[in-house]
Amino acid sequence: MKILIPLALLLVLATPSVAQQAGEAEFGKRCARCHDTAAAVAILKPHTDAKERAAWLERKLSRHHARDAGERKAIIGYLERALGATK
Ligand code: HEC
């Protein structure tokens, strides 16, 4: 049974579409009641430097509704893709 969890994680990380859905689902669960995706992307837009943005988001979200590192990673990935789609 114990092997199933790392295997499932590996699958999620290895399959972009699955990882994307996980990020979207986490965002829906953790963030959407206060921010819709467009609003969250609008918040990110002034942070034009990708490295600075990633570091800022990591700091911000670790204290703001996404304390779990895995969840935070999925949500940040989802937001980065949403931001990329609006460029
Ligand atoms: C309970 C409502 C609520 C939830 C849930 C919530 N937020 Fe927020 N968020 C706010 C409010 C209010 C602010 C503005 C005040 C602040 O910065 O804390 C904000 C600010 C932010 C900011 C900008 C902060 C800044 O310093 O400019 C980001 C980015 C953000 N939220 C992303 C998220 C993400 C991603 C999630 C899900 C993990 C999330 N929020 C969940 C209410 C919420």
Residues 2-38: pLDDT tens digits?
777 777 766 666 666 777 788 999 999 999 999 999 9
Asked if 44 and 55 count as a contact pair (C-beta separation under 8 A), the reply is no
Asked if 24 and 58 count as a contact pair (C-beta separation under 8 A), the reply is no
Asked if residue 68 has pLDDT above 80, the reply is yes
3-state helix, strand, coil in the chain (%, to 5): 75, 0, 25
Residue type, 75: I
Mean pLDDT of 40-63: 96
Cα 16 to middle of ligand 1, angstroms: 26
- Dist CA 59 CA 55 (whole Å): 6
* Token duo for residue 74: 């999925």
More confident residue, 40 or 12: 40
Q: What is the domain partition of the chain in residue ranges?
A: 23-86
The whole-chain average pLDDT of the chain stands at 89
Candidate of 34, 36, 47, 76 to mutate for ligand 1, largest count of ligand atoms within 8 Å of Cβ: 34
Ligand 1 contact via 63 beta carbon (within 6 Å):
no
Provide, rounded to the nearest whole percent, the portion of the chain with pLDDT above 90.
Answer: 71
Ligand 1 contact via 83 beta carbon (within 6 Å):
no
